[in-house]
Amino acid sequence: MEEIHESTELGKLYLIPSRLGEQPPLEVLPLSIRKKINDINYFIVENEKVSRGFIKKITPTRSQGDLELFTLNKFSQEIEIPEMLAPCLKGFDVGLMSDAGCPGIADPGAKAVMAAHQQNIQVIPLVGPSSIILALMGSGLNGQNFAFNGYLPIDKNECKIKIKKLEKRAKIENQSQIIIETPYRNESVLKTLLKHLHPETLLTIACDITLDTEYIKTRSVIEWKNKKIPDLHKKPCVFAFH
């Protein structure tokens, strides 16, 4: 395996998940995350303040002055990525983190990973919380075939068309459909889902995942319409239907 030999003197790119909330880190992250954060000096992060806070929480004795953080978010340019991976070329490991959850999954990071592959830098994903997978596990919906579709369109008509298309795909292909929304739009999106989905379609609301206030429930659309909906306002939510 030529490329593995090529990579032996390069640093590695570790993909480091973080918490979905403010709980004690080791409740939701394996020890290897703490160890790796302790060993690495170079990080690519979504938001410097958030990541410094998390690093301080999980490795309180680390000197923050030793850390070099590069910001990679949706405003970053492709041209900035080589600098972020430069430590790997000098033999130093780099950690890639997003603000919450798994880097690269419904979050920035994939471009840095792709650039690492192109430079034969070994990429090592570490285990941590993915709200998408946790919501799907907790939903009871089909986990043998599923799609994560990101956000629904803002335009009302496009949104309706998209919901109908995904619902059809759920039925025909037996594929669970997952979406997310920015927390302040949760209630509006739920209303839209309840309006356009078939009454017998199963809909999961998964909210505040891994937190003490976690709420995960699957019901048919008609049942949701007849029940009091929990308060979702400004809480991180995942919706799934089948």
Query: Which helix or strand (DSSP H or E) is residue 55 part of?
Result: helix 48-58
Closest CA to 91 of 7, 33, 15: 7
Among 11, 95, 103, 236, binds a second copy (CB under 8 A): 103
Residues 4-23 that bind a second copy (CB under 8 A): 4, 15
Among 187, 192, 230, 235, binds a second copy (CB under 8 A): 230
Q: Mask of contacts with a second copy, 155-194, x by CB under 8 A?
A: --------------------x-------------------
CA-CA-CA-CA torsion for 129, 135, 137, 139, nearest 10 degrees?
170
Q: State yes or no: residue 144 binds a second copy (CB under 8 A).
A: yes
Distances from the Cα of 201 to the Cαs of 66, 168, 240, in angstroms?
53, 10, 10
Q: State yes or no: residue 154 binds a second copy (CB under 8 A).
A: no
CA angle 66, 107, 166 (to 5 degrees): 170
Q: Using CA atoms, how far apart are residues 181 and 145, in angstroms rounded to an integer?
A: 22
Nearer to a second copy, 66 or 212 (CB): 212
Q: How far is the CB of 232 from a second copy (least distance, A)?
A: 11
Closest CA to 39 of 99, 93, 101, 102: 93
Residues 40-79 that bind a second copy (CB under 8 A): none
Closest CA to 44 of 105, 87, 89, 1: 87
Nearer to a second copy, 225 or 227 (CB): 227
Among 82, 91, 150, 153, binds a second copy (CB under 8 A): 150
Contact set with a second copy (CB under 8 A): 1-4, 15, 26-32, 102-107, 109-117, 123-125, 127-130, 132-150, 175, 209-210, 214-219, 227-228, 230
